[in-house]
């Protein structure tokens, strides 16, 4: 906790231009492109800058890896007031109206003619499938559940979302593995796929997974909102107004980062 | 020899002369196996893990007059698990992260001789599963040796407070951390890793006590050569026999992320020259994704301490789906078994997270008895002929399925908080949790920008409504002898003494001494904050017995307090917040060692 406070203070000193009395304190991951990083290169950083500018506020960050306890230790602990990118309706926060919607996707080399579009495609049994792994309270990404319930388990290759500091973007290595032919197909959250696929030496195909909701209730499409602390309804509404006002700019930023976006879906989040 | 060296280098006083005198009078630790004497040099007091002291100045007759002599605050307000060491006239205290080591001068109560700062990587504290605890140091060869959360083992000169060596295991960015207390056997320091929730691969390693160089490492998963399973390996049960089970009992290469860390206790039997340790829950994927036994998760290993070779293994909870880590202490005892008129047997007694108390033959790995010591419904019993649990299929967890009222909850009938054994009474004294849990499917979470879904685990009090207890256990009979029910899980360790006393602490701040035979409370006092540390005892410089314990709630059980976890997020800290939501009414954060003595 002490570290975070110091880091935050450091940034206040570094970025504070002192002209604005208001401060926009954003909670973000220091090393997680395409979302955010300490060099302000992620789309969350870009969107936060737009919000801060409109609020005429100094933008400061509380940095924390987005792992267990991220929301609790940043937003809920009062170290910052706004999370830019969080699944809508996330527990114990107040979500804004969603401002984009993305999906888990299949990623494969175009020249390999994999052409898988559904979890029900029997060819998945014969392919080397890469998945991001994590261990939050036994949590798994939705594709892991979908494969497990189809008893597709022997041909899964696990990739860590973080690993070694020297690797610039560990989350992108699963996409490198597709490009290099180490795995046949990756199933990842859309924003990772879009961003890292565009940086490969070979052309990759990105296909939204089907079904978008695996019956009875496992979703692959998620609405993404900003989040504030419960009780800060006025602030939430202020942010919503800004999201609406800058929706074109924000859409442009998301497109620049290759975030796969999908349209309205029939049912709401689980 | 070390003692005299220490004393030559330090200020002499009348008190330390008195201490030398006392040392002669009190039975020595090594003379009577399984018991400590005037000093406390190893995490559990003894390498056998008994937490029994031969000291009897403080007894059932006078313990009511116990009073606090001094306290020392570590300056860190998070969970203080572990126990201090006492060597000569110095007490060594390892604080939670940033893991400073304090050398306290017992001739000047409460004064520090020096403080060693290991320069812990601040990145590590975001990785630790369940608060940023440390379970203590070990003294050997003139050095105080302990693990720093950022995966470093450090050895510090016990006299000067200067670093002698350090061994860095892995970058904490990989999700791995270290919280366990090392054990020294011969010239080897035995350490293991934490981080089963983060997708790491568990191991135990032996370091050279003189240099910190790694001598051997045994992984918990993977092919036999990595697990150090070879020609000497003779498991008792057929279920544990076969080649490369550490990889073949997993799909594909998932064993490489298979968790099964070694973050709990290591004990040692000098007679058989075997060390014993458990392994944690299998790696991060839901159980449906890793069909198979997932060896060697939740396993007791017997190993040669010099080479690391396994001589037997017993998997406790195959294909774990409840987070029943198998890391709890394996207490080395020689007891008449199965009854008082039987011959003495070489036993290993463990109170597992899964709710069963196992009494095993420590030479062969055979389970001689396995009885429930808390309420448990995930299995009816352990089949002693196959070694397998007879599971209740209704309580098997599956992702996407709501499973209610699984007992015990993930922290188990007992977590790492260590039990004690008194050779005088022949009883084990066990700190327990009485918690059950609901596994509910499809809670959306966030991880590095990606939505995840997982089971939300909420915990609640088990039958009876008390959330924990201290109980006395007769391992030969497989029965509870007495039990003191507590409002909260008993997350402290336990100390038994030749004064026929048992010491323990509670999350609601009470430090107690009870009669070892009856459980009658003979002494209690309220500390500044809740207790998750382990009581220990020693002889002070004036020749008089002391008892010491840490205050400072935290760890898995008390995580709600130092983390200031919101009570409106019942899933925080792996679901334990729901079961301890009223704890902040009873204790604030703290962090101190309290030392008690008789007037």
Residue A160 banded pLDDT, cuts 50, 70, 90: confident
Residue B69 phi/psi, 5-degree rounding, is: -90, -50
Q: Do A140 and B251 touch (CB under 8 A)?
A: no
Residues in chain A with CB shorter than 8 Å from the CB of B290 are: 153
Q: Quick one: which of B375, B572, B395, B397 has its CA closest to B462?
A: B375
- The mean pLDDT value for B290-299 works out to 95
Domain range for A248 is: 2-100+223-256
Q: Which of B168, B289, B403, B574 best probes binding to A when mutated, by most A CB atoms within 10 angstroms?
A: B289
Q: In the structure encoding, which two tokens stand for residue B266, read together?
A: 């290591």
Out of A85, A144, A147, the one facing B449 most closely (by C-beta) is A85
Residue B579 banded pLDDT, cuts 50, 70, 90: confident
- In this prediction, residue A141 carries a pLDDT of 83
What is d(CA B488, CA B586) in angstroms, rounded to the nearest whole number? 10
Q: Provide the angle, in degrees to the nearest 10, between the axes of the packed helices A190-197 and A173-180.
A: 60
Q: Residue B567: pLDDT above 50? A: yes
* Cα–Cα distance list, B402 to B282, B396, B397, B398 (Å): 21, 10, 8, 8
- The mean pLDDT value for B455-459 works out to 78
| A134 touches B199 (CB < 8 A) | yes
- In this prediction, residue A268 carries a pLDDT of 37
Whole-number percent of chain B with pLDDT over 90: 71
Average pLDDT, chain B: 88
- Considering the domain architecture, whether residues A207 and A244 belong to the same structural domain is answered as no
Residues in chain A with CB shorter than 8 Å from the CB of B565 are: 72
Strand residues in B383-535 grouped as ranges (E): 389-391, 403-406, 420-422, 427-433, 435-447, 450-461, 468-474, 479-486, 495-497, 501-505, 510-515, 521-526
- The mean pLDDT value for B98-107 works out to 96
In chain B, the number of structural domains is 1
* Cα–Cα distance list, A77 to A5, A72, A229, B5 (Å): 11, 6, 10, 49
User: How close, in Å, is residue A35 to chain B by CA atoms?
Assistant: 7
- In this prediction, residue B135 carries a pLDDT of 95
Please check whether residue A67 touches B, CB under 8 A: yes
Please check whether residue A76 touches B, CB under 8 A: yes
Instruction: Classify residue A75: in a domain, yes or no.
Output: yes
**Active site positions of B, annotated:** 197, 281, 323
Q: Which of A70, A76, A107, A138 best probes binding to B when mutated, by most B CB atoms within 10 angstroms?
A: A138
Instruction: Classify residue A214: in a domain, yes or no.
Output: yes
Q: How many CB pairs under 8 A join A and B?
A: 194
- pLDDT tens for B476-511 read 999 999 999 999 999 999 999 999 999 999 999 999
What is d(CA B303, CA B308) in angstroms, rounded to the nearest whole number? 5
- In this prediction, residue A9 carries a pLDDT of 38
Domain range for B116 is: 2-597
User: How close, in Å, is residue A247 to chain B by CA atoms?
Assistant: 21
**What are the residues facing B483 on neighbouring strands?**
B471
Q: Residue B62: pLDDT above 90? A: yes
- Helix, strand, coil percentages (3-state) for chain A, rounded to 5, are 35, 25, 40
- Considering the domain architecture, whether residues A122 and A174 belong to the same structural domain is answered as yes
- Considering the domain architecture, whether residues A141 and A166 belong to the same structural domain is answered as yes
Please check whether residue A163 touches B, CB under 8 A: yes
Number of residues that make up chain A: 270
- In this prediction, residue A155 carries a pLDDT of 92
- In this prediction, residue B216 carries a pLDDT of 98
Out of B442, B565, B574, the one facing A270 most closely (by C-beta) is B442
Residues in chain A with CB shorter than 8 Å from the CB of B173 are: 162-165
Closest-CA residue of chain B to A230: B568
Please check whether residue A241 touches B, CB under 8 A: no
Q: Do B197 and A64 touch (CB under 8 A)?
A: no
User: How close, in Å, is residue B470 to chain A by CA atoms?
Assistant: 28
- In this prediction, residue B563 carries a pLDDT of 56
- Considering the domain architecture, whether residues A17 and A61 belong to the same structural domain is answered as yes
User: How close, in Å, is residue B462 to chain A by CA atoms?
Assistant: 21
Q: Which of A145, A161, A221, A230 best probes binding to B when mutated, by most B CB atoms within 10 angstroms?
A: A145
Closest-CA residue of chain A to B195: A135
Instruction: Classify residue A266: in a domain, yes or no.
Output: no
- pLDDT tens for A55-66 read 999 999 999 888
Instruction: Classify residue A125: in a domain, yes or no.
Output: yes
Residue B1 banded pLDDT, cuts 50, 70, 90: very low
Q: Do A87 and B451 touch (CB under 8 A)?
A: yes
Whole-number percent of chain A with pLDDT over 90: 66
What is d(CA B36, CA B28) in angstroms, rounded to the nearest whole number? 7
**What are the residues facing B348 on neighbouring strands?**
B332, B360
Burial of B409 (0-12, 13-18, 19+ CB in 10 A): buried
- Considering the domain architecture, whether residues A141 and A124 belong to the same structural domain is answered as yes
- In this prediction, residue B59 carries a pLDDT of 98
**What are the residues facing B335 on neighbouring strands?**
B345
- In this prediction, residue B303 carries a pLDDT of 98
Judged by average pLDDT, the poorest of B50-54, B370-374, B578-582, B589-593 is B578-582
What is d(CA A89, CA B73) in angstroms, rounded to the nearest whole number? 42
- In this prediction, residue A137 carries a pLDDT of 53
In chain A, the number of structural domains is 2
- Considering the domain architecture, whether residues A161 and A188 belong to the same structural domain is answered as yes
- Considering the domain architecture, whether residues A137 and A66 belong to the same structural domain is answered as no
Q: Residue A15: pLDDT above 60? A: no
The most confident of B74-78, B170-174, B330-334, by mean pLDDT: B330-334
What is d(CA B129, CA B213) in angstroms, rounded to the nearest whole number? 28
- In this prediction, residue B441 carries a pLDDT of 64
Closest-CA residue of chain B to A66: B448
User: How close, in Å, is residue B21 to chain A by CA atoms?
Assistant: 46
Residue B399 banded pLDDT, cuts 50, 70, 90: confident
Q: Residue A5: pLDDT above 90? A: no
- In this prediction, residue A133 carries a pLDDT of 79
- In this prediction, residue A236 carries a pLDDT of 97
Residue B444 banded pLDDT, cuts 50, 70, 90: confident
- Considering the domain architecture, whether residues A92 and A135 belong to the same structural domain is answered as no
Residues in chain B with CB shorter than 8 Å from the CB of A105 are: none
Q: Quick one: which of B405, B555, B442, B431 has its CA closest to B492?
A: B431
Q: Quick one: which of B425, B520, B521 has its CA closest to B512?
A: B521
- Considering the domain architecture, whether residues A71 and A114 belong to the same structural domain is answered as no
Q: Do A230 and B568 touch (CB under 8 A)?
A: yes
Please check whether residue A125 touches B, CB under 8 A: no
- pLDDT tens for B513-550 read 999 999 999 999 999 999 999 999 999 999 999 999 99
Q: Residue B329: pLDDT above 60? A: yes
DSSP per position, B215-274:
EEEEESSSSHHHHT--TT---SSGGG-STTHHHHTSSTTGGGG-B----S-EEEETTTTE
Strand residues in A135-264 grouped as ranges (E): 156-160, 185-189, 204-208, 213-214, 218-219, 221-228
Q: Quick one: which of B233, B224, B352, B338 has its CA closest to B281?
A: B352
Q: Which of B284, B400, B451, B573 best probes binding to A when mutated, by most A CB atoms within 10 angstroms?
A: B451
- The mean pLDDT value for B316-321 works out to 95
Three-class secondary structure of residue B550 per DSSP: strand
Please check whether residue A139 touches B, CB under 8 A: yes
**What are the residues facing A185 on neighbouring strands?**
A129
Q: Residue B138: pLDDT above 50? A: yes
- First-to-last C-alpha distance (Å) of chain B: 32
Residue B274 banded pLDDT, cuts 50, 70, 90: very high
- Considering the domain architecture, whether residues A182 and A231 belong to the same structural domain is answered as no
- In this prediction, residue B289 carries a pLDDT of 82
Residue A20 banded pLDDT, cuts 50, 70, 90: low
| B316 touches B300 (CB < 8 A) | yes
- The mean pLDDT value for A198-213 works out to 94
Q: Residue B121: pLDDT above 90? A: no
- Considering the domain architecture, whether residues A206 and A229 belong to the same structural domain is answered as no
Please check whether residue A141 touches B, CB under 8 A: yes
Q: Residue B9: pLDDT above 60? A: no
Judged by average pLDDT, the poorest of A170-179, B217-226, B401-410, B566-575 is B566-575
Judged by average pLDDT, the poorest of A4-18, A194-208, B248-262 is A4-18
Q: Do A164 and B171 touch (CB under 8 A)?
A: yes
Instruction: Classify residue A267: in a domain, yes or no.
Output: no
- The mean pLDDT value for B350-358 works out to 98
Out of A64, A72, A171, the one facing B569 most closely (by C-beta) is A72
What is d(CA B429, CA B211) in angstroms, rounded to the nearest whole number? 37
- pTM, two decimal places: 0.86
Which of residues A163 and B297 earns the better pLDDT score? B297
User: How close, in Å, is residue A137 to chain B by CA atoms?
Assistant: 6
- In this prediction, residue B440 carries a pLDDT of 75
* Cα–Cα distance list, A268 to A24, A85, A99, A217, A236 (Å): 30, 18, 15, 11, 20
What is d(CA B201, CA B254) in angstroms, rounded to the nearest whole number? 10
User: How close, in Å, is residue B344 to chain A by CA atoms?
Assistant: 43
What is d(CA B38, CA B23) in angstroms, rounded to the nearest whole number? 6
Q: Do B198 and A155 touch (CB under 8 A)?
A: no
Out of A3, A66, A76, the one facing B449 most closely (by C-beta) is A66
Instruction: Classify residue A265: in a domain, yes or no.
Output: no
Which of residues B290 and B66 earns the better pLDDT score? B66
Q: In the structure encoding, which two tokens stand for residue B191, read together?
A: 């350490």
Out of A69, A92, A153, the one facing B289 most closely (by C-beta) is A153
Q: Do A138 and B454 touch (CB under 8 A)?
A: yes
Q: Residue A172: pLDDT above 50? A: yes
Instruction: Classify residue A263: in a domain, yes or no.
Output: no
Q: Do B571 and A137 touch (CB under 8 A)?
A: yes
Q: Residue B587: pLDDT above 90? A: no
Pairing of strands A129-133, A57-63: unpaired
Residue A11 banded pLDDT, cuts 50, 70, 90: very low
Residues in chain B with CB shorter than 8 Å from the CB of A158 are: 199, 253-254, 256-257, 285
Q: Residue B8: pLDDT above 90? A: no
Residues in chain A with CB shorter than 8 Å from the CB of B291 are: 151, 153
Closest-CA residue of chain A to B289: A148
| B145 touches B137 (CB < 8 A) | yes
Instruction: Classify residue A108: in a domain, yes or no.
Output: yes
Average pLDDT, chain A: 86
Tell me which H or E stretch contains A71.
helix A70-73
**Taken in order B220, B223, B228, B229, is the CA torsion positive or negative?**
positive
Q: Residue B365: pLDDT above 70? A: yes
Q: What is the CATH number of the domain that holds A79?
A: 3.40.190.10
Residue B399 phi/psi, 5-degree rounding, is: -65, 135
Residues in chain B with CB shorter than 8 Å from the CB of A254 are: none
Q: What is the CATH number of the domain that holds B99?
A: 2.140.10.10
- Considering the domain architecture, whether residues A185 and A109 belong to the same structural domain is answered as yes
């Amino acid at each position: 906790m002490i570290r975070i406070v110091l880091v935050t203070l450091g940034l206040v000193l570094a970025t504070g231009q002192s002209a604005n009395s208001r401060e926009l304190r954003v909670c973000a991951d220091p090393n997680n492109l395409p979302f955010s990083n300490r060099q302000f290169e992620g789309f969350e950083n870009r969107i936060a800058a737009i919000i801060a500018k409109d609020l005429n506020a100094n933008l400061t960050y509380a940095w924390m890896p987005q792992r267990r306890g991220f929301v609790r230790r940043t937003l809920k602990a009062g170290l910052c007031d706004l999370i830019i990118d969080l699944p809508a309706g996330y527990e114990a926060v107040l979500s804004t109206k969603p401002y984009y919607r993305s999906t888990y996707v299949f990623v494969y080399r175009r020249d390999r003619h994999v052409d898988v579009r559904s979890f029900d495609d029997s060819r998945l049994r014969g392919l080397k499938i890469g998945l991001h792994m994590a261990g939050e309270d036994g949590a798994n990404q939705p594709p892991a559940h979908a494969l497990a319930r189809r008893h597709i388990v022997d041909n899964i290759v696990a990739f860590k979302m973080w690993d070694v500091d020297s690797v610039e973007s560990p989350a992108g290595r699963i996409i490198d593995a597709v490009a290099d032919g180490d795995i046949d197909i990756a199933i990842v959250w859309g924003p990772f796929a879009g961003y890292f696929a565009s940086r490969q030496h070979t052309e990759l195909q990105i296909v939204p997974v089907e079904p978008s909701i695996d019956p009875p209730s496992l979703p692959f499409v998620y609405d993404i909102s900003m989040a504030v602390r419960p009780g800060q309804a006025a602030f939430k509404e202020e942010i919503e107004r800004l999201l609406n006002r800058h929706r074109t700019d924000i859409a442009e930023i998301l497109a620049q980062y290759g975030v796969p976006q999908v349209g309205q879906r029939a049912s709401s989040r689980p | 020899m070390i003692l005299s060296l220490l004393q030559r280098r330090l200020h002499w006083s009348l008190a330390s002369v008195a201490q030398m005198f006392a040392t002669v009078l009190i039975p020595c630790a090594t003379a009577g196996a399984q018991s400590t004497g005037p000093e406390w040099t190893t995490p559990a007091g003894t390498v056998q893990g008994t937490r029994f002291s031969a000291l009897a100045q403080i007894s059932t007759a006078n313990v009511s007059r116990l009073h606090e002599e001094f306290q020392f605050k570590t300056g860190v307000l998070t969970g203080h698990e572990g126990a201090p060491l006492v060597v000569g006239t110095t007490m060594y205290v390892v604080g939670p992260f940033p893991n400073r080591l304090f050398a306290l001068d017992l001739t000047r109560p409460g004064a520090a001789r020096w403080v060693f700062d290991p320069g812990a990587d601040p990145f590590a504290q975001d990785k630790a599963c369940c608060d940023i605890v440390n379970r203590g140091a070990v003294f050997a060869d003139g050095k105080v040796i302990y693990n720093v959360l950022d995966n470093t083992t450090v050895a510090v000169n016990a006299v000067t407070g200067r670093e002698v060596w350090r061994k860095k295991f892995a970058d904490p960015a990989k999700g791995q951390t270290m919280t366990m207390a090392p054990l020294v056997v011969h010239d080897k320091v035995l350490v293991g890793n934490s981080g089963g929730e983060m997708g790491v691969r568990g191991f135990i390693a032996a370091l050279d006590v003189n240099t910190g160089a790694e001598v051997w490492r045994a992984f918990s998963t993977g092919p036999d050569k990595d697990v150090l399973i070879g020609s000497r390996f003779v498991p008792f049960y057929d279920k544990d026999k076969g080649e490369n089970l550490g990889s073949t009992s997993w799909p594909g290469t998932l064993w490489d992320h298979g968790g099964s860390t070694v973050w709990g206790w290591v004990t040692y039997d000098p007679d058989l020259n075997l060390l014993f340790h458990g392994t944690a829950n299998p790696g991060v994927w839901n159980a449906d994704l890793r069909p198979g036994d997932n060896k060697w998760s939740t396993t007791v290993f017997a190993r040669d301490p010099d080479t690391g070779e396994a001589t037997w293994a017993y998997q406790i909870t195959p294909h774990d789906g409840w987070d029943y880590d198998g890391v709890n202490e394996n207490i080395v005892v020689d007891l008449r078994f199965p009854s008082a008129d039987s011959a003495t047997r070489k036993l290993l007694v463990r109170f597992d997270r899964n709710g069963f108390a196992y009494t095993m033959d420590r030479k062969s790995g055979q389970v001689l008895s396995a009885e429930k010591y808390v309420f448990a419904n995930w299995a009816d019993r352990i089949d002693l002929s196959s070694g397998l649990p007879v599971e209740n299929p209704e309580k098997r967890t599956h992702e996407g399925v709501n499973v209610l009222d699984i007992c015990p909850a993930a922290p188990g009938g007992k977590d790492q908080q260590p039990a004690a054994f008194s050779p005088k009474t022949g009883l084990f004294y066990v700190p327990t949790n009485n918690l059950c849990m609901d596994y509910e499917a499809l809670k959306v979470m966030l991880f590095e920008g990606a939505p995840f879904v997982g089971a939300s685990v909420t915990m609640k009090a088990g039958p009876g409504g008390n959330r924990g207890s201290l109980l006395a256990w007769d391992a030969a009979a497989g029965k509870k002898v007495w039990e003191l029910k507590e409002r909260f899980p008993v997350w402290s360790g336990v100390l038994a003494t030749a004064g026929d006393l048992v010491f323990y602490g509670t999350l609601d701040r009470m430090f107690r001494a009870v009669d070892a035979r009856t459980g009658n409370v003979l002494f209690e006092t309220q500390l500044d904050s809740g207790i998750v540390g382990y009581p220990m005892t020693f002889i002070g410089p004036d020749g008089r017995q002391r008892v010491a314990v840490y205050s400072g709630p935290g760890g898995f059980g008390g995580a709600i307090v130092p983390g200031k976890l919101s009570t409106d997020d019942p899933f925080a800290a792996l679901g334990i917040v729901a079961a301890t939501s009223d704890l902040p009414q009873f204790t604030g954060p703290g962090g101190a060692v309290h030392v008690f003595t008789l007037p």
